[in-house]
Structure 1
Amino acid sequence: MSQPSLYEQLTALQREGQGFVLVVLVEALGSTPQDTGAKMLVTAAGLHAGTVGGGKVEARALTLAQEMLAAGASAPRFVNWTLKTDVGMTCGGSVKLYFEPHAAGGVGAAWPIWIFGAGHVVQALVPVLAPLDCQLTVVDPRREWLDRLPRSANIRFIQADEPKELVPTMPENAFLLCLTKGHASDRPVLQRALAERNFPFIGVIGSEAKAEVLRREMIADGLPAERAKQFHCPVGLPFGSNDPREIALSIAAQLLTERDALKPQPTDAKRQKTPKG
């Protein structure tokens, strides 16, 4: 499986609404650890992709980029560093770096949908959602299932043995879907999301009986009863069969319905939309 290019990863960060800094090595003189044109992407979490040479140069550039993010910087800047005096390296070259900050939630931010699980329903759901103006993140411990999904600039894949640890990293406006292989793997993600976050939509695959079991167990673990009600199970609008493809369509329909319900409503009567072309 080929890795997404740096441009694809930059586009994905923009669509997801994450803040980042693009760092470009625009000039390298003498003995430098990387050639002109090297690039890296830095987020608040650290190095996201690429490299400008590693070692002390990259460490200092990483620190400066994260300082710019923390300060909410909006203006690009250039820096010139002499490797011996400014960076503390033994080689005698110099570098000129360009830092271009991109604010979180800026232009291009798309609807973030996080899907926990990569099984049969997710295999059918991702191709339905991918053409929409959304940013998909699919999380599963099984690499072989992630590898079966289509590749696109707006789809990110995370192989994680403890998916619940990713809940704190999700954007506030994310729609969360628990579509894992069973109750035991859905519940840790669901419980952490309900206990620590306030996402606009949380859906869980399963039956009403499963929903009751989940609520009872989470309440027994200390989750307030009112919070334990704040998820949709079974997820999806009530139509179609149990075929994974039809379940996927019902879930996509509910996601769109819930998304549109969050938008400001026009004061006049809503007109029927006519597709262009």
Structure 2
Amino acid sequence: MRTWRHLADLLETHGAAALVSVHDVKGSAPRETDARMVVRPDGAFYGTIGGGQLEMKMLAIAGDMLRQGRQPARFLDQALGPDLGQCCGGRVKILIETFDKRDLQDIAPLVAAEAEESPFTVECRLDDGYVRREISSAVGDDSWTGWREVHGEARTPVLLFGAGHVGRALVLALASLPFRVRWLDTREDVFPSHIPSNARPVLMKDPEAEIAQAPPDAFILVMTHDHPLDMAITASALSRGFPYVGLIGSATKRARFEKRFRELGLEERRLRDLVCPIGLPGIVGKEPAVIAASVAAQLLQVREKSLLVIPGPHSGARNP
């Protein structure tokens, strides 16, 4: 979720908004540190801190704060079991802040950094009761006296070749997931008029150039209208060693393609990397939406395995 973009939009349109953040977590909790909600004055909101009684209570408090006007931040320490009757058993500290149009200039750098679509670290401190934030330029420097937050999303790049029925369904399935889709097709006028914001349609001229220029962590999905084109794209992708190369089709199609790939000199280890048929085993429906849901879940699984999890500056307990 683009927290600061939502917040800035609400300040422009509604004049005020609240930000509810999971500041710290001990034990089991519905969401992780740095999960957030942006709350409108009318009670509507974007994002989630985990649902249930915790979220309902924090929304009520944020609403009360907004009705009183811009005011100092509040920290609330909640034991999920004793305080809220939730079964998680952990403890969370929630930070609630209110904003109005006076804050637009201060949050503008955060809106801009968020638009880069990669995580960034923000140094925070309390100043006269309000949270002051500065984008960190010295991560690892212990001279700061407050705490650090991580903002932005790490979106995995996806190259999706083909704008047919399954391609369209897959773009919709990935719309709210942590992926950035480059959607490619050689045909004009095949892309729908409305496309999710995390997908970019591209009229493809040179498929092999697209593969050559793709980042090494990209996921490749091949489902064009043309089998020879599928073969050329897939062979090029397998030779690069991407973490995921998926080809739509049956086991028979895979066998035929593998025979040709061997003739082209592709190594056996590369052939073993090919995912074909695509999607999770056990889901056999052939409707485009079913295939798309299955593939989206598979991509999430591969993404989890490929992410290198390193404890960041927000790990561990925070103060205040």
TM-score, normalising length: structure 2: 0.48
Evaluate the alpha carbon distance shift between residue 221 and residue 240 of structure 1 in structure 2; reply closer, same or farther with a 3 A threshold.
closer
| Equivalent of 2:169 in 121, 124, 137 | 124
> What is the alpha-carbon distance in structure 2 between the residues aligned to residue 166 and residue 219 of structure 1?
23
Of 276, 284, 287, 1:233 maps to 276
1: CA distance, partners of 2:115 / 2:256:
37
Task: Find the counterpart in structure 2 of residue 198 from structure 1.
Answer: 241
The answer for the alignment partner of 1:256 in structure 2 is 300
d(CA) in 2 for partners of 1:124 and 1:226? 31
Displacement after TM superposition at 1:14 (Å): 2.5
**Whole-angstrom CA distance in 1 between matches of 2:242 and 2:215:** 9
Find the aligned partners of 1:111 and 1:208 in 2 and give their Cα distance: 27
Q: Is the 8 A contact 1:111 1:134 kept in 2?
A: yes
What is the Cα deviation at residue 245 of structure 1? Answer: 1.1
Answer with 219-228 or 243-252: which moved more: 219-228
- The partner residue of 2:199 within 129, 152, 155 is 155
Which residue does 2:266 correspond to in 1? 223
* 1:212 correspondence with 2:314: no
Give % identity: 33
Q: Pairwise CA RMSD of aligned residues?
A: 2.7
- Counterpart CA distance in 2 for 1:186 and 1:229 is 17
- Give the partner amino acid of 2:297: A
- Residue aligning to 2:74: none
In the alignment, structure 2 segments of 5+ residues that lack a partner are 1-111, 120-136, 138-150, 311-320
Q: How does 1:30-41 map to 2 (within 5 A)?
A: none
Q: Note if contact 1:176-1:203 (Cα within 8 Å) is conserved in structure 2.
A: yes
Q: Give the residue type in structure 2 aligned to 1:175.
A: F
Amino acid of the structure 1 residue aligned with 2:199: I
**How many residues are aligned here?**
168
Tell me how far apart the structure 1 counterparts of residues 184 and 155 of structure 2 sit (CA, whole Å).
19
C-alpha distance in 1 between matches for 2:205 and 2:160:
15
Distance 1:149 1:186, change over 3 A: farther
**SS of the residue 2:268 aligns to:** coil
Output the CA distance in 2 between the equivalents of 1:216 and 1:13. 44
Equivalent residue number for residue 71 of structure 2: none
- Retained in 1: the 8 A contact 2:114–2:152? no
1:11 and 1:180 map into 2 onto residues whose CA distance is 35
Counterpart position of 1:174: 218
- Bigger mean CA deviation after superposition, 231-240 or 153-162: 153-162
> Which amino acid is 2:168 matched to?
Q
Q: Secondary structure at the match of 1:184?
A: helix
- How many angstroms does 1:16 deviate by? 7.2
User: What's the offset of the Cα at 1:107?
Assistant: 6.1
Shift of 1:120: 0.3
Aligned to 1:15, what secondary structure does the other structure show?
coil
Amino acid at match of 2:178: D
Distance 2:152 2:309 in 1: 22
Task: State the distance in 1 between where 2:222 and 2:251 align.
Answer: 15
Q: Give, as a single letter, the amino acid of the residue that structure 1 aligns with 2:254.
A: A
The Cα offsets for residues 68-125 of structure 1, whole Å up to 9 and x where unpaired, read as xxxxxx9xxxxxxxxxxxxxxxxxxxxxxxxxxxxxxx96541111101110001111
Contact 2:156–2:218 under 8 Å retained in 1:
yes
- Secondary structure at 2:195's aligned position in 1? coil
Contact 1:194–1:228 at 8 Å: present in 2 too? yes
**TM-score, length of structure 1 as denominator length:** 0.55
- 2:117 partner letter: R
2:280, 2:297 within 8 Å by CA — same for their partners in 1? yes
Q: Say whether the 8 Å CA contact 1:178–1:205 is kept in structure 2.
A: yes
Contact 2:175 2:197 in 1 (8 A): no
Do the aligned residues in 1 keep the contact of 2:184 with 2:202 (CA within 8 Å)?
Answer: yes
Partners of 1:15 and 1:108 within 8 A in 2: yes
